[in-house]
């Protein structure tokens, strides 16, 4: 049963990666919880990211450079690389699996329509951003994102998330994570430009691309190459780091236990 479901989800994932190329922006309407019209940004572009997991070595250079570039508070991350250890039950062989996570800049972002003050919005180039001067910090968007890509920044007390480094893209620079990626695993670009590297790679690997949690209907625009189906949704894995506790249940050396 579980296998069948997973296989099914795998199919959906591939299909959604394809469907994502049809822009949803045209479907915006005005019912409750429908997507509001996009605003700002270059309407001729649609930014997206392709992550070639085969090239990711799990060094967390992206995590660190993003943290420095975007000044996220300690313990909060706009991007992070989840790391899994997979042990073969019979042979005992161990393999590691790296999964960089960030905001998917979904084409149907559930975080946007819930915002009661329109502080969170999608630009016409597809980037989902937060206007921190408007945000009231209700955290509704944090709840609505299926990917835990948002958090309340404890310094600004407003919603915070990956912006594809829009401030860098707008002046012709690459996002900090892309710039610092050792393996060149992160490729960002404009899907509307058929000659961009991302468009070419998407065409080439069309069959093998996957997105996270396709069943949520969010149409993510971060595409993964070399993805394993079992990690697509909430993985059935043993959480290791939270088990670092003493007999009395007290944490031993968890770095960010500051609050």
Partner 1 sequence: MNSMAIEVLTPRYGIAWYPWAVQYFFMIAVSYSALLLTVPGLIFGNKNYQPLARVALLVTVTCTLVGPVALLADLHQPLRFWHFYANLNTQSWMSIGSLLLPLYLVMVLAYAWLAWRPAMQEQAQEPGWIGKLSGWISMGSWQAPRWMLVLAGLGALAFAFGIMLYTGAEVAILKSRPLWHTNWLPVMFVLTGLVAASGLVVLINRLMTGNDEEINRQGLKVIFVSMALAAVVAALWVSEGITGFSPSVEAAFESLQGNAEWRMVAIYGLAVGIVLTLATIAMLRRPGWMTRAWIAGLLAVHIGWTFRWMVLMEVQTVAKNTAGYYQYAVEAGSSGLLGIVGTFGLWLAALLIIDILVPWKKGLQAGSH
Interface residues with partner 1 (CB under 8 A) are 3, 30-34, 36, 75-77, 80-90, 96-97, 101, 110, 113-119, 134-140, 142-148, 151-152, 157-158, 212-213, 216-217, 230, 234-242, 254, 256, 259
Q: Which is nearer to ligand SF4, 25 or 200 (CB)?
A: 25
Give the integer Cα–Cα distance in Å for 224 and 202: 10
User: Residue 86: which of partner 1, ligand SF4, none does it interact with, CB under 5 to 8 A by kind?
Assistant: partner 1
Query: Cα dihedral sign for 141, 142, 145, 149?
Result: positive
- Residue length, the chain? 259
User: Residue 161: which of partner 1, ligand SF4, none does it interact with, CB under 5 to 8 A by kind?
Assistant: ligand SF4
Asked if 100 and 62 count as a contact pair (C-beta separation under 8 A), the reply is yes
User: Residue 259: which of partner 1, ligand SF4, none does it interact with, CB under 5 to 8 A by kind?
Assistant: partner 1
Give the integer Cα–Cα distance in Å for 62 and 67: 8
Asked if 125 and 47 count as a contact pair (C-beta separation under 8 A), the reply is yes
Asked if 166 and 127 count as a contact pair (C-beta separation under 8 A), the reply is yes
Position 218 contacts ligand SF4 (CB under 6 A): yes
Interface ranges with ligand SF4 (CB under 6 A): 103-106, 109-111, 114-115, 117, 119-120, 128, 130, 135-141, 145, 147, 149-150, 158-159, 161, 218
């Amino acid at each position: 049963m579980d296998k069948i479901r997973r296989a099914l989800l795998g199919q959906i994932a591939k299909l959604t990666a394809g469907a994502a190329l049809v822009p949803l922006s045209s479907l915006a309407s005005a019912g409750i919880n429908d997507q509001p019209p996009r605003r700002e940004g270059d309407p001729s572009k649609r930014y997206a990211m392709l992550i070639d997991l085969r090239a990711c070595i799990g060094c967390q250079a992206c995590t660190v450079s993003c943290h420095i570039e975007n000044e996220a508070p300690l313990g909060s991350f706009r991007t992070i690389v989840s790391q899994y250890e997979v042990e073969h039950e019979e042979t005992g062989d161990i393999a590691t699996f790296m999964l960089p996570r960030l905001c998917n800049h979904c084409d149907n972002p559930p975080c946007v329509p819930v915002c009661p003050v329109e502080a969170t919005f999608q630009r016409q180039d597809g980037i989902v951003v937060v206007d921190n001067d408007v945000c009231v910090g209700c955290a509704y968007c944090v709840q609505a994102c299926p990917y835990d890509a948002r958090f309340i920044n404890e310094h600004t007390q407003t919603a915070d998330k990956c912006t594809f480094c829009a401030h860098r893209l707008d002046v012709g620079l690459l996002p900090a994570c892309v710039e610092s990626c050792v393996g060149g695993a992160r490729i960002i670009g404009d899907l509307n430009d058929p000659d961009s590297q991302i468009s070419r790679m998407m065409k080439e690997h069309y069959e093998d691309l996957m997105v996270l949690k396709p069943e949520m209907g969010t149409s993510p625009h971060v595409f993964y190459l070399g993805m394993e189906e079992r990690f697509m949704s909430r993985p059935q894995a043993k959480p290791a780091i939270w088990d670092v506790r003493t007999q009395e249940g007290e944490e031993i050396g968890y770095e960010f236990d500051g609050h």
